[in-house]
Amino acid sequence: MKHDLLIIMPAYNEEASIGKFLDSLKEFGIMEYADIIVINDASADHTTEILKLLNINFVNHPYNLGYGAALQTGYKYAVTGGYRYIIQMDSDGQHDACNIPKIYDCLRQKDAAGKRPDLVIGSRFLKESQSFPIPFAKKVAIRFFRRVIKIASHQDITDPTSGLQGLNRPVFEYYAHFGNFDNNYPDANMLVQMSLLGYQIKEIPAVMHKRTAGKSMHFGIIEPLLYMCIMLFSTYNVFVRSKWKLLQQPINDKGGNNFDEKK
Amino acid sequence: MTLALQLIIIALGIFLLIVIMNAAVHRKISESHALLWIVPCFLIIIGGIFPQVTYFLSDIFHTEYPPAVVFALAIIISYLILFQCFKSLSVLAMKNKELASQTALLAERVRVLEKTVQKLQEPSGHEENKTT
C-alpha cells in the first residue's frame, strides 16, 4: 500500500478500452495519490497481456465469477492492504477519470454535522452531471428502482444503477465479509441494505461517456427483464432481512465514522 | 373440482411459496434459483383459483382426461428444473476441479518461495555464528 485510496476496476474482455482508460488515469495524475487494482475476471482476450505491459497491479480470477464477485475480490484486497478509501469504476472508459478526485474529496469532507459520507455515488442525473443519452428502457428501469429504494429505505437516489462509487473503510470492510455483499447482482439491493443499516449515502454529479467497445452486462430483452425480476426480489429479501434482524450488524461505527481519527 | 380440493391446492401453493421465499431470505437459495421454483408455485395457485384453465388446456390439446394436461405440465416443469440443477452441478464440479488444481499450484509456488527465502537467510545466519 502506497496511498490510502485504492481504485478498483473489474475487467472482463476489455482489451479494446482498458489501455486507453489507464492512460487517462495517468494523464489526470491519479496514480500520484491512489493505487490501482484491476480485477481481471478471467478475460478470454488480451486484457491480461495489456495489464502486464502497462505494469498495472491486477488479480486474475481462475474463471469468470461475475461483476459482483470481482468487486468483492477488490474489497478483500483493500481490507488486507489497509486502505482507507476505495473508488470502484468500470474499466471500459464509461466513467471519466475526472470523477475520481471529486469522489475522493467528497469521501473525506465533513458535512455541517461533522459527518462524512460512507458511500458516494457518481450520478448521471444530477444538475451538473454530464452523460450520454440513455435508452428509454434503461431510464424506465432506473426510475423504477429509484422508486423501490425510496419505498424501502426512504432515501432518494437518482442513479441507483451507477457503478461509479466511492466507499470508506467501514463499508468495504462490511462488504468484504462473507454473506454481506450480493456477489451475483450488487445494485439497488445493496444500496437499500446499506441505507437500512444506517450508512450515509451521498450522490455527486458525475461525468460519464458512452461505451465505445466491448459488450454491456445487460443486453438483449430477456436478460434485462430477468435481471429486473431478480433485483426486485433481492431488494425485497434485503428489506425482510433488515426487518427480521437477519443482516449482520456493522463492526465499525458508521454514519460519518471517525475511523480516520482513530488511526 | 370440489371446493375443498381447490382450497387444498391454493393452500399448498401458498405454503410452497412461503417456504421458498423464506429460504431466499435466509440465503439458503439464490434469488435466481428461487425464481425457478416461485414460477411453478404461482402456476399451482392459479390452477387452484381457476380450475377451468385445466379444461381449457385439455380442449386445446384434445385430451380426454383433463388432469393429464396438469401431469404433463408438472413433468415438463420438473424436468426443466432438474436439467437446470444438473447443469449447475456440472459447472460447479468443473470449477471445483479448477480451484483445486490452482490451489495445488499456488501451494507449490509458496513452497519454492519459502525455500528461496530460507536459502537467502542462511548465509547471514552463518556470519552471525562466525562472529559469535
Interface residue B41 vs chain A (CB under 8 A): no
For residue A14, the distance in angstroms to the closest alpha carbon of chain B comes to 23
Q: Give the cell for residue B35.
A: 425464481
Q: Tell me the average pLDDT across A230-256.
A: 85
CB contact under 8 A, A63 and B95: yes
For residue B122, the model assigns a pLDDT of 84
Is the pLDDT reported for residue A125 higher than 80?
Answer: yes
Interface residue B26 vs chain A (CB under 8 A): yes
Query: Other CB atoms closer than 10 Å to residue A10's CB: what's the count?
Result: 27
Instruction: Write the DSSP symbol of residue A11.
Output: E
CB contact under 8 A, A62 and B102: yes
Q: Which residues pair with A37 in a beta bridge?
A: A8
In this predicted structure, which of A118-122, A177-181, A211-215 has the lowest mean pLDDT? A211-215
Interface residue A132 vs chain B (CB under 8 A): no
Interface residue A251 vs chain B (CB under 8 A): no
Cα separation, B94 vs A150, in Å, equals: 42
For residue A22, the distance in angstroms to the closest alpha carbon of chain B comes to 29
Note whether A217 and A67 are within 8 A (CB).
Answer: yes
For residue B41, the distance in angstroms to the closest alpha carbon of chain A comes to 15
Q: Give the cell for residue A39.
A: 480485477
How many CA within 13 A on the CB side of residue A177?
12
Selected residues 53-92 of chain B with any CB under 8 Å from a CB in chain A: none
CB contact under 8 A, B31 and A237: yes
Q: Which residues pair with A34 in a beta bridge?
A: A5
Instruction: Find, in chain A, the residue whose alpha carbon is nearest to that of B32.
Output: A230
pLDDT in tens, B15-26: 999 999 999 999
Interface residue B9 vs chain A (CB under 8 A): no
Is the pLDDT reported for residue A258 higher than 60?
Answer: no
The beta-carbon neighbor of A234 closest among B26, B31, B99 is B31
Residue type, B83: F
Is the pLDDT reported for residue B90 higher than 90?
Answer: yes
- B91 pLDDT band (50/70/90 cuts)? very high
User: Of all residues in chain A, what percent carry a pLDDT higher than 70?
Assistant: 92
Cα separation, A121 vs A159, in Å, equals: 8
How many CA within 13 A on the CB side of residue B33?
17
Kindly list the residues from chain B whose CB atom is less than 8 angstroms away from the CB atom of residue A248. none
Query: Other CB atoms closer than 10 Å to residue A239's CB: what's the count?
Result: 19
Best of A41, A59, A60, A63 to mutate (most B CBs within 10 Å, chain B): A63
pLDDT in tens, B108-122: 999 999 999 999 998
Interface residue A237 vs chain B (CB under 8 A): yes
Estimate the crossing angle of helix A67-81 against helix A169-176, to 10 degrees: 120
pLDDT in tens, A71-118: 999 999 999 999 999 999 999 999 999 999 999 999 999 988 888 999
Interface residue B18 vs chain A (CB under 8 A): no
pLDDT in tens, A10-63: 999 999 999 999 999 999 999 999 999 999 999 999 999 999 999 999 999 999
Is the pLDDT reported for residue B127 higher than 70?
Answer: no
Whether ipTM > 0.85 holds is: no
Note whether A235 and A178 are within 8 A (CB).
Answer: no
Q: Which of A252 and A229 is assigned the larger pLDDT?
A: A229
CB contact under 8 A, B26 and A246: yes
| Mean pLDDT value across chain A | 91
For residue B129, the model assigns a pLDDT of 56
Q: Is A60 exposed, middle or buried (0-12, 13-18, 19+ CB in 10 A)?
A: middle
The beta-carbon neighbor of B35 closest among A184, A233, A240 is A233
Q: Which residues pair with A8 in a beta bridge?
A: A37, A88
Kindly list the residues from chain A whose CB atom is less than 8 angstroms away from the CB atom of residue B31. 184-185, 230, 233-234, 237
Query: Other CB atoms closer than 10 Å to residue A106's CB: what's the count?
Result: 17
Q: Which residues pair with B6 in a beta bridge?
A: none
For residue A262, the model assigns a pLDDT of 42
The pTM is what? 0.87
Is the pLDDT reported for residue A256 higher than 50?
Answer: no
Indicate the SS3 state at residue A200: coil
pLDDT in tens, A171-192: 999 999 988 999 888 999 999 9
For residue B68, the model assigns a pLDDT of 93
Name the pairing type of β-strands A85-88 and A5-11: parallel
CB contact under 8 A, B35 and A230: yes
Instruction: Find, in chain B, the residue whose alpha carbon is nearest to that of A226.
Output: B32
Instruction: Give Cα separations from A169 to A115, A116, A247, A256 (angstroms).
Output: 15, 12, 19, 11
Note whether A212 and A128 are within 8 A (CB).
Answer: no
For residue A263, the model assigns a pLDDT of 41
Note whether A252 and A199 are within 8 A (CB).
Answer: no
Note whether A12 and A44 are within 8 A (CB).
Answer: no
Contact residues for B44 (Cβ-Cβ < 8 A; gap 6+): B9, B12, B13, B16
Interface residue B95 vs chain A (CB under 8 A): yes
Instruction: Find, in chain A, the residue whose alpha carbon is nearest to that of B21.
Output: A237
Instruction: Give Cα separations from A28 to A25, A33, A92, B88 (angstroms).
Output: 5, 11, 17, 44
Interface residue B34 vs chain A (CB under 8 A): yes
For residue A260, the model assigns a pLDDT of 52
Give the CA angle between residues A66, A72, A74 to the nearest 5°: 105
